[in-house]
Amino acid sequence: MVNKLQDSYLAAHDQVYRTLRMRIMYGEMRPGQAITLRGVAAEFGVISYPSTRGVKAFGSRGGFEHFGYWAFSDP
């Protein structure tokens, strides 16, 4: 399992982005698996802004489909 990245030189949103990308690359997220921004924020111990920024950055590269304001899904 890919754990959260704990690189001190990375901004919080970059840690969210890279960890989610690695989980998809290694098949740890199922196609169609839904995530929420609140869930990501809670998992990474950050406020909502870094989780939103990390997830949206990944989504803009085709990593997630957006379903409503708070929900995303692995395509």
For residues 45 and 65, give the distance between their C-alpha atoms in angstroms, rounded to a whole number.
Answer: 23
The predicted pLDDT at position 42 comes to 92
For residues 9 and 55, give the distance between their C-alpha atoms in angstroms, rounded to a whole number.
Answer: 19
Report yes or no on 33 lying in a domain: no
Report yes or no on 4 lying in a domain: no
The predicted pLDDT at position 69 comes to 55
Contact between 29 and 73 under an 8 Å Cβ cutoff? The reply is no
For the stretch 26-40, pLDDT in tens is 888 887 788 888 888
Count of domains forming the chain: 1
Residue with the two structure tokens 């754990």: 3
Report yes or no on 29 lying in a domain: no
